[in-house]
């Protein structure tokens, strides 16, 4: 049923070849069998091949910051289905190796696929049993190749990933987006966080004169502050999140936690309060 009255009496959009794909992928005209056999022709239903054009079940921002002695990351436990807060117990921070954590925003099923890829790689390394394994920069490079390869097939994995770790006494914090764009920085925030949290993270680092002057306690407080701001203003976020700590001791991913919030002011907002 078309719910837009202006469309009534007009041909349904799916009856029209919007992108002039005729005769290659027309589902109106009868396409000869020999044509449908051509590789890349599309599906037998008569519709053209289509790739992911939007994420479905999504996670919002992931935050990461370097501090004295390690890297800390944070992400909430929500997987939204559109604007619906559909799954409230999803872990978006995942330990890949002894000193590496991946955090994902964007499509959750694509993240699950990437987790599987990375875990398979690590198992392969473990089975080789030759004293070599993949460190954070190696995993980062691999993830970059995977993401760029998929965008080159015009079928991207719809995520922005944050990879945090420690290798040879060096802290590592990097992000890769769905186009395979990599960048590294002392602080990283994806999605809505890149607008709301990144300025706070940068200010906190600058205020202290560099990441080396941030203690572990400070890092926790800074991330909690950012998560609170995001919960106030990002409608796809949730006040239940985890922190991941990566130091040369190893990885710890915390139990879900929340922050104190104050909503009394909301009463005075028109259209929000009573």
Q: Which of 6, 36, 49, 52 is catalytic?
A: 52
Helices 136-152, 108-128: inter-axial angle, 10-degree rounding: 130
137 binds other proteins (CB under 8 A): yes
130 binds other proteins (CB under 8 A): yes
Q: How many residues bind other proteins (CB under 8 A)?
A: 11
Closest CA to 89 of 77, 101, 81: 77
Which residue, 128 or 207, is less far from other proteins as judged by CB? 128
Task: Write down the least CB distance from residue 131 to other proteins, Å.
Answer: 5
Which residue, 91 or 125, is less far from other proteins as judged by CB? 125
Q: What share of the chain is helix, strand, coil (3-state, %, to 5)?
A: 30, 25, 40
Which residue, 53 or 127, is less far from other proteins as judged by CB? 127
Closest CA to 245 of 223, 270, 212, 230: 223
Which residues are registered as beta bridge partners of 66? 71
132 binds other proteins (CB under 8 A): yes
Look up 52 and say whether it is catalytic. yes
CA pair distance 245, 72, nearest whole angstrom: 5
Per CB under 8 A, contacts with other proteins among 169-228 are none
> What's the token pair of residue 13?
């959009």
**Quick one: DSSP state of residue 197?**
T
145 binds other proteins (CB under 8 A): yes
- Active site members: 52
The residue ranges that bind other proteins (CB under 8 A) are 128, 130-132, 134, 137-138, 140-142, 145
């Amino acid at each position: 049923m078309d719910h837009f009255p202006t469309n009534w009496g007009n041909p349904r959009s799916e009856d029209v070849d919007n992108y002039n794909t005729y005769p290659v992928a027309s589902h109106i005209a009868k396409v000869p069998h020999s044509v449908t056999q051509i590789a890349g022709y599309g599906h037998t239903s008569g519709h053209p091949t289509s790739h992911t054009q939007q994420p479905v079940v999504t996670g919002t921002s992931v935050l990461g910051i370097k501090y004295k002695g390690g890297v800390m990351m944070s992400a909430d436990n929500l997987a939204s289905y559109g604007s619906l807060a559909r799954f409230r117990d999803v872990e978006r921070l995942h330990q890949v190796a002894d000193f590496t954590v991946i955090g994902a925003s964007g499509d959750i099923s694509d993240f699950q696929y990437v987790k599987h890829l990375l875990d398979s790689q690590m198992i392969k390394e473990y089975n080789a049993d030759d004293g070599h394994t993949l460190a954070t920069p190696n995993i980062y490079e691999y993830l970059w190749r995977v993401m760029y390869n998929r965008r080159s097939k015009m079928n991207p994995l719809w995520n922005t990933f944050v990879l945090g770790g420690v290798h040879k006494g060096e802290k590592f914090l990097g992000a890769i987006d769905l186009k395979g764009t990599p960048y590294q920085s002392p602080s990283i925030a994806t999605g809505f966080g890149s607008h709301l949290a990144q300025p706070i993270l940068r200010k906190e680092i600058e205020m202290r004169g560099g990441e080396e002057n941030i203690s572990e306690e400070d890092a926790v407080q800074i991330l909690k502050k950012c998560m609170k701001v995001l919960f106030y203003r990002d409608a796809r976020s949730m006040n239940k999140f985890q922190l991941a700590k990566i130091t040369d001791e190893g990885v710890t991913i915390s139990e879900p936690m929340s922050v104190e919030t104050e909503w009394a002011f909301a009463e005075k907002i028109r259209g929000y309060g009573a």
